[in-house]
Amino acid sequence: MNTFLENQNWRYATKKFDATKKISAEDLNILKEAIQLSTSSYGLQPYKVLIVENPEIREQLKPFSWNQTQITEASHLFVFTNFIDVEESDITDYLNNIATTRGLKVEDLKGYGDMMIANVVSGLTLEQKSIWTAKQTYLALGNLINVAAELKIDVTPMEGFQPEKYNEILGLDKLGLNASLVATIGYRHEEDASQHYPKVRKPMNELFVTI
């Protein structure tokens, strides 16, 4: 079987982590680079990822995560946060990055920048911008899940938390950010029965339609 598919069959949403096992600095850097390389609309990456290691902060977040034990037992807690707003300065920063990375003149990118400003900055309401940027975090999560499976590191993506409380505890409101999703990362506990359950997915003939 293809190695990628084998890894996807191996992974599952871990319910109980082994709190004694920690992700190495080397593997953590690989996970971060996988997120950094993720695709996003226009390549803009309108989000930040908080890596919460502080056990006291994680204890504060746990009650607002439906008391799921993964929040405190996993090696690391990743909080994906999206930009609430996208401003013209964000586009300018991105164009400067492109110019520096590719050895171009910023003026040569004006058409691309004008398009992003028209479509995103001016073309969307504040609510629409926040929805759009939140969607980008899911693309980054996909990269994280896939590379973690390759490293045999467990990831549990979570939407079961109260974003407004996360925003308050982590001070995200002051940064113009919003907690869009959470991922607990570490190593499955041998007592986690979920790892032995057969994977349940729709059959191919129900999932795909060829037109």
Two tokens, residue 192: 């986690």
Q: Could you report the per-residue pLDDT of 51-75, keeping only the tens digit for each?
A: 999 999 999 999 999 999 999 999 9
Distance CA 108, CA 193 (A): 57
If one looks up domain 3-85+129-191 in CATH, what number appears? Answer: 3.40.109.10
What is the band of 107 on the pLDDT scale with cuts at 50, 70, 90? very high
Give the pLDDT score at 1: 58
Percent of the chain with pLDDT over 90: 99
**At CB < 8 A and 24+ separation, what contacts does 161-168 make?**
161/61, 161/64, 161/65, 161/66, 162/64, 162/65, 165/61, 165/64, 166/61, 166/64, 166/79
Q: Where are the domains of the chain?
A: 3-85+129-191, 87-123
pTM exceeds 0.75, yes or no? yes
Give the pLDDT score at 156: 98
